[in-house]
A = this chain, B = another copy of it.
């Protein structure tokens, strides 16, 4: 009998979020699963790590092919602890999500879901992040599941190119409306933000961030375009943030002391 793949599951919406529950069900049908996830929502955690507070792990479930741990840290902490303190070995796959809300375009920069995936990638483990374009805690994850299973099976079979992980986003439509899967590039975009300025009952001012995402450019090969057209987008992601095309433009800065 073939050995079951070992899969580490995490997220940034916290261990009780419906999104990770849906992802766990798919993964348990594909391998031995260990969940290490934050004990509370960590949206917007990005790639933050816990340096000043001791990290805690609590075992929540232990079955033969399934274990679950709750952690007081960030998604990145969960991946590091999952590998080094729980598994003591590299899993065959890391999956993160299903995020409640989009991680397409520049949302990847703020995303705790994708930070966990990038962390796995830096540890040279095939890693995939899944996000559904619905921020609601009552989101319907069912239409996502066949695509998630398909992409996961492909990665378990073929692996991923060295230094590359996947950012998968799923349109918030019915199963019938999903038109397929497309490998593509990250769209340009930005957040147009503002602050809600309020005064607390003690007379002190405070601020809440609010904003809307604005796409930049209208390329047909971007995640934003494909999602708008009801495709599942798959962006291969790496950790090299160099803007190579700008190097020649900036070479005038080179100087010798």
Contact = CB atoms under 8 A, between A and B. Distances in A.
A62 B132 CA distance: 46
B122 A54 contact: no
Contact of A193 (B84, B181, B208, B234): B84
A49 B209 contact: yes
A104 B71 CA distance: 29
Interface stretch (A16-24, A91-99, A240-248): A240-248
A250 B161 contact: yes
A122 B188 CA distance: 10
Interface in A230-253: 234-247, 249-253
A57 B106 contact: no
- Number of chain A interface residues as a range: 35 or more
Which of A52, A160, A206, A250 counts the most chain B CB atoms within 10 A? A250
Interface in A77-93: 77, 80-81, 84-85
Contact of A255 (B106, B122, B180): B180
B51 A209 contact: yes
Interface string A139-150: 000000000001
A242 B185 contact: yes
Contact of A52 (B41, B49, B124, B190): B41
Name A's interface SS.
mixed
Given A51-B43, A55-B209, A109-B118, A236 B240 contact: no
Given A44-B49, A77-B209, A234-B253, 5 more contacts: A44-B51, A48-B74, A84-B194, A85-B197, A238-B241
A205 interface: yes
Contact of A239 (B85, B109, B182, B249): B109
B81 A207 contact: yes
A56 interface: yes
A257 B55 contact: no
